[in-house]
Amino acid sequence: MKNIDEISREDYISKLFIDNEHKLDESPSGDLWSRIETKLEQTSLSSGKENLPRTTIAARKGIIMRMVPYIAAASVLIIISVAISLFQWPKQNNTLAESKEEVEDVDLPTAKSETIPIIPSDKDSAFEEEDQRQKIKMLQEAKKQAGKESKNAEASVEKYGLDIITINEKSNDVITMTPEPAKDEEDNSFISRPRAEYNDFSTTNGNVSNSPQIVPRSDYQNQNRNYANPPSADPAMADKIESYIKGKENMSTKKGNESKTQSRIKNKSVKSLQSNQQLDSHLKIFEWLLGQWTDEEEEGGIAYENWRWINANTIEGIGTKIKENNKIFEERLSIYYDNSLKQVFLKMQIDDTKNQVIYMLSSFDTERIVFEQNEDPGIPNKVIFQRHLNGYSTTIAFDQGFLKPAQQSYLDHRNRVSNVKALRILNRSEEK
């Protein structure tokens, strides 16, 4: 049976060119050989120069080799001296403690006087008492202020849709934070910081530290975040996305060119969504992604990617690579809409450090969806999802730099990786 590749070389145009291609053979200009010769000589000269540093390196290496015994002896001495000093340390501490005890014995008769306590336990208890007094004082002040400012705070909450912080009065030490669900409407002149910064709120002495702050958009932009008109930050974007989707749906019903497999899997995904919850309108452009994707032609193993919805605001993709029935690689990607930031983000790993990199949706059209980041110059700045006839590709691109070896080795599990980008090409899996 003939391969389809061979058949498509048998058309008239292909034959015409194959039969006549030899006519292009032509001797190049006479000076071409002299140019090649010159370049070869230049290369041999420069390669001769390259030998010089090698000699230096070899010589330096020899010096280092000769110094090895001395370095080893010096390091042994250092280790011994450090060990001795560490060994001596507890003894010195014991001596100090003994001398303290002696002092305590001497001071016992005057313990009732109002001198500063030098016994550690007394000192601690005094500090604790002072600390308690401070806490009570601060709590009282906070209550007073809360009473005064409650009206203003309520007004701010209504205006900006902030999370309300309530103080549980029953407990003296614990402050509980009860965020209310964010409101849909937002004053567009404000934008809050990324959610990641809110995760480590802590309470210290009754004060909320590292509390979320609302930063005016102008200030926010000054913080080295210069995404160029992210579409999802645009308040009108939801409407645009919806109209885009509606238009696309109309087109697809008119054309009816979607394959049966694709529509079956898509319908399945949509049904599962409708049964519980609707996908947020900002994530509708990713609906086609839901389902199973595979690349069975992959040489280092079979690559799978399974995209599913987690909740109305999040979809998750699990990429795996199977080789000889063993899972040799797994990664998780999630695309989510952040209600507070009004933006769509992609979260994924770039290397083995388990650190998640967050990319923000920067543009999309019928062909491709682009996520970008410019906060960390050491990681790829762009992730592109591009749809194909029966599949899609993910490109992780580094426009202003080169992938580090750790990143390359992690991303090597994708189909192809160069020093500036990694590419995975997947096809829609047939439903079994």
Partner 1 sequence: MILSEQELLEGCRKGERRAQKALYDKFSSKMFGVCKRYVKTIENAEEVMVEAFCKIFQKIDLYSGQGSFEGWIRRVVINEALMFLRKNYRFNEHIDITEVPVQAVHVTIEDELSAAEIMLLLEQLPTGYRTVFNLYVLEGFKHKEIAELLGISINTSKSQLILAKKRLRDLVEQAAVIRTGGNAEA
Among 1, 2, 28, 98, binds partner 1 (CB under 8 A): 28
Give residues 364-383 in contact with partner 1 (rule: CB under 8 A).
Answer: 367
Cα–Cα distance for residue pair 414/427, rounded to 1 Å: 14
Among 27, 171, 199, 224, binds partner 1 (CB under 8 A): 27
Does 254 engage in binding with partner 1 (CB under 8 A)? Answer: no
Does 100 engage in binding with partner 1 (CB under 8 A)? Answer: no
Facing residues of 359 across strands?
346
Does 302 engage in binding with partner 1 (CB under 8 A)? Answer: no
Among 225, 391, 408, 412, binds partner 1 (CB under 8 A): 391
Stretch of residues binding partner 1 (CB under 8 A), selected from 198-206, 237-245, 346-354, 385-393: 385-393
Q: Using alpha carbons, select from 227, 219, 221, 173 the residue that is nearest to residue 370.
A: 227
Among 1, 2, 26, 236, binds partner 1 (CB under 8 A): 26
The residues near 370 (Cβ < 8 Å, ≥ 6 apart) are: 361, 362, 363, 364, 382, 383, 384, 385
Burial 142-162, CB ≥16 within 10 A → b, else e: eeeeeeeeeeeeeeeeeeebb
Residue 198's SS3 state is helix
Residue 111 CA: distances (Å) to CA of 3, 97, 102, 124, 130: 101, 19, 14, 16, 20
Does 421 engage in binding with partner 1 (CB under 8 A)? Answer: yes
| Contact code string over 39-78 relative to partner 1, x by CB under 8 A | xx--x-----------------------------------
Cα–Cα distance for residue pair 207/214, rounded to 1 Å: 18
Shortest spacing between CB 9 and partner 1, in angstroms = 6
312 CB-contact burial (10 Å; exposed 0-12 / middle 13-18 / buried 19+): middle
DSSP class of residue 227 equals -
DSSP class of residue 4 equals H
Residue 325 in tokens:
């029935």
Among 17, 89, 127, 402, binds partner 1 (CB under 8 A): 17
Does 389 engage in binding with partner 1 (CB under 8 A)? Answer: yes
Identity of the residue, 13 or 228, whose beta carbon is nearer to partner 1 in the bound complex? 13
Shortest spacing between CB 393 and partner 1, in angstroms = 5
| Contact code string over 198-237 relative to partner 1, x by CB under 8 A | ----------------------------------------
Does residue 221 contact residue 248 with C-beta atoms inside 8 Å? no
Q: Using alpha carbons, select from 324, 331, 287 the residue that is nearest to residue 422.
A: 331
Q: Using alpha carbons, select from 267, 251, 236 the residue that is nearest to residue 366.
A: 251
Stretch of residues binding partner 1 (CB under 8 A), selected from 13-21, 68-76, 137-145, 268-276: 13-21
Shortest spacing between CB 284 and partner 1, in angstroms = 21
Shortest spacing between CB 154 and partner 1, in angstroms = 52
Give residues 101-160 in contact with partner 1 (rule: CB under 8 A).
Answer: none
Does 189 engage in binding with partner 1 (CB under 8 A)? Answer: no
What residues line the site for partner 1 (CB under 8 A)? 5, 8-9, 11-29, 32-33, 35-37, 39-40, 43, 257, 297, 367, 386-391, 393, 395, 416, 418, 421, 423, 425
